[in-house]
Structure formats: structure tokens, C-alpha cells
């Protein structure tokens, strides 16, 4: 079995596309700045839209983007805001605009002879971006979506500070299997996300009651749950993050003591395995990970995969 936890064999490139001031008059211009990782080998590839976390930058995820794209996917990461984080509903509307831009603008940015297969679009997000991805899939955007999602993947999604202080819209119901979704869902969590950093901060980054556990519990079948036991909420980001935001991100969440590269490989590999299973119809890697979680570079415990 070719390991999804190793980088794939496809050469790729990163494309950065800013939003011009004239974008309101040009439908081909992206509504938000984009970071795109794409294979450069001739072919047609599924698309993964990945929404960044609270106050983070899309380029903090370049390692994850590279890992996924090298296995034959076009990864699109919009920068949904710059300085001031929007409200939850505004974030969802921004993401919806990006979704509706894809059919008219994505292809023009890709390398020659690389084609985006927009019949196979997966939606993902990390942290608050994971919650926004679920909200978008659940139909909370006012703007009608022009594309249908094939798969939904939450990477340590967070819906607020606690069960009684959640970001709008309130999508968690605390009723098992209650999400009104008819697509496969994978939720990747972290074991240290619910813990405070050094025991001194007032708020963990992924508190119990609003984190990956509840998102998985409310997802309908088929759904999968993978928890990186010894890693924290931001450990899948790149090393040495630049700028003030990068420096602040290193001070907010409890981190694991292991190599972040192992965490990135684990998250990237699980995403690739789930996409292969439910977008490409190739479930060998996913079933192998479920049967033997020790295949993952980072310790994954628990692993749950419910299909019926």
C-alpha cells in the first residue's frame, strides 16, 4: 500500500492570487485572496476548499496543502479576513462567495492542461474555519451555492468558548446524528486541544463541549473520527510562522512535545485517505488506517469509523 502519510509523487506549485480593487466589476477575480496548491502534471483533479482558523493566515497551512496536492488534489485556501475577524455569519458569507467564484475563476489560474473537476469538491476547515465549513455545508449561507460538496472534513473544529458561549450561527444541537447532511464526514481532533496552555490561560483553544467530539457525535453516517492524542490545536500548522499573527499563535494553545512534521503528515494523510475513499472511490488507505492506526506517524487514538 502506498502510504498516504508520505508526500505524494506529483510535482506541484503554489499560486497566490490577490483580490484586485476592481474585483466588484470583474467576475473572474477571486472575492478573497487565495493560496492554491495544484499538481502540475497534465490531468483532471478534484478540488478541496480549506478554510483557515480564527485570526490565522492561509499560508500557515502550506505544509498541509503541499501534502494533499501532491496526492492529486487542487487545494484552495481563501484568506477570509485580514486584520479584524468578522462575525460568524460574515465569515460564512465570505466562504460562500469563494465557492460561487470557483466555476468561473479557478480554471484560469491553474497550470496549462491541469483541469479542476468541480463535480468533485470537498469542503474542509480548521478551528473556527472548521465550524464555518460545517455551517456552510448545512446551508447557513444566505447566498445560494452553485456547487455541491462531495465530502466534509473538520480539522479540530471549534464552535465557541463553551456550550453556553458559542459563535453564531449556533449549529450544534447536542443531539446525536442531528446534522442535516447527506455527505460523508470526517472529523480530525487533537488530544491537547481541550487543555489550557501551561495551565495559566483562562481558555483552552478547543474546549470540551464545542470541539471535535461534538461535531463527530452530531454527524450522520458515514462518518469518521480521528484524534491525534499527543498534539495540540495548532500543531498541524507550519513551523516558524511569520509576522505578529504567527508569533501570537505560538503563545495561545497547548502544543505537543513531538515533531509538528509528524502531525502534518498524519493530518494530511488522513485527509487524503478520506478523499480517496469518498471522492475517488478508492478506500484501501482509509480502511487500512482504521484497522491499524499505528500506520499514522502521530499516535491516533481513538479512531471511530461508522458506516451503518
Mapping DSSP to helix (H, G, I), strand (E, B) and coil, where does residue 119 land?
strand
Active site residue 283: no
Between the CA atoms of 261, 291, 153 and 121, what dihedral angle is there, to the nearest 10 degrees? 100
> Among positive and negative, which fits the CA dihedral 142, 224, 116, 74?
positive
Active site residue 156: yes
Catalytic residue among 233, 235, 238, 249: 233
Between the CA atoms of 15, 35, 141 and 31, what dihedral angle is there, to the nearest 10 degrees? -60
Catalytic residue among 70, 124, 127, 150: 127
> Among positive and negative, which fits the CA dihedral 177, 180, 182, 186?
negative
Q: 72 and 39 in contact (C-beta within 8 Å)?
A: yes
Catalytic residue among 71, 150, 156, 219: 156
Active site residue 259: no
Between the CA atoms of 267, 196, 206 and 298, what dihedral angle is there, to the nearest 10 degrees? 20
Q: 64 and 109 in contact (C-beta within 8 Å)?
A: no
CB atoms within 10 A of CB 134: 26
C-alpha to C-alpha distance for 243 and 235, rounded to whole angstroms: 17
- State residue 4 phi and psi, 5-degree precision: -75, -10
Give the DSSP H/E element, type plus range, for residue 76: strand 74-78
List, by residue number, the catalytic residues: 127, 156, 233
Amino acid at each position: 500500500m502506498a502510504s498516504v502519510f508520505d508526500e505524494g509523487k506529483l510535482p506541484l506549485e503554489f499560486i497566490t492570487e490577490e483580490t484586485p480593487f476592481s474585483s466588484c466589476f470583474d467576475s473572474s477575480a477571486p472575492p478573497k485572496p487565495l493560496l492554491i496548491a495544484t499538481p502540475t502534471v497534465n490531468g483532471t483533479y478534484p478540488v478541496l476548499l480549506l478554510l483557515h482558523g480564527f485570526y490565522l493566515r492561509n499560508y500557515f497551512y502550506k505544509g498541509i496543502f503541499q501534502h494533499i496536492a501532491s496526492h492529486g488534489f487542487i487545494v484552495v485556501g481563501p484568506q477570509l479576513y485580514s486584520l479584524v475577524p468578522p462575525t460568524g455569519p460574515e465569515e460564512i458569507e465570505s466562504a460562500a462567495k469563494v465557492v460561487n467564484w470557483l466555476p468561473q475563476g479557478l480554471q484560469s489560474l491553474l497550470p496549462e492542461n491541469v483541469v479542476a473537476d468541480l463535480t468533485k469538491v470537498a469542503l474542509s476547515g480548521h478551528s473556527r474555519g472548521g465550524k464555518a465549513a460545517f455551517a456552510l455545508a448545512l446551508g447557513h449561507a444566505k447566498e445560494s451555492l452553485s456547487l455541491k460538496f462531495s465530502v466534509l472534513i473538520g480539522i479540530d473544529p471549534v464552535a465557541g468558548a463553551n456550550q453556553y458561549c458559542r459563535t453564531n450561527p449556533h449549529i450544534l444541537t447536542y443531539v446525536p446524528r442531528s446534522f442535516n447532511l447527506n455527505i460523508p464526514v470526517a472529523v480530525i481532533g487533537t488530544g491537547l486541544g481541550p487543555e489550557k496552555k501551561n495551565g495559566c490561560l483562562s481558555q483552552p483553544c478547543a474546549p470540551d463541549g464545542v470541539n471535535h467530539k461534538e461535531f463527530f457525535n452530531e454527524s450522520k453516517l458515514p462518518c469518521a473520527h480521528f484524534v491525534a492524542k499527543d498534539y495540540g490545536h495548532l500543531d498541524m500548522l507550519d513551523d516558524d510562522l511569520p509576522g505578529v499573527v504567527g508569533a501570537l499563535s505560538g503563545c495561545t494553545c497547548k502544543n505537543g512535545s513531538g515533531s509538528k512534521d509528524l502531525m502534518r503528515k498524519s493530518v494530511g494523510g488522513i485527509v487524503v485517505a478520506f478523499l480517496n475513499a469518498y471522492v475517488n472511490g478508492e478506500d484501501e488507505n482509509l480502511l487500512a488506517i482504521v484497522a491499524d492506526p499505528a500506520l499514522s506517524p502521530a499516535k491516533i487514538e481513538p479512531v471511530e469509523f461508522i458506516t451503518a
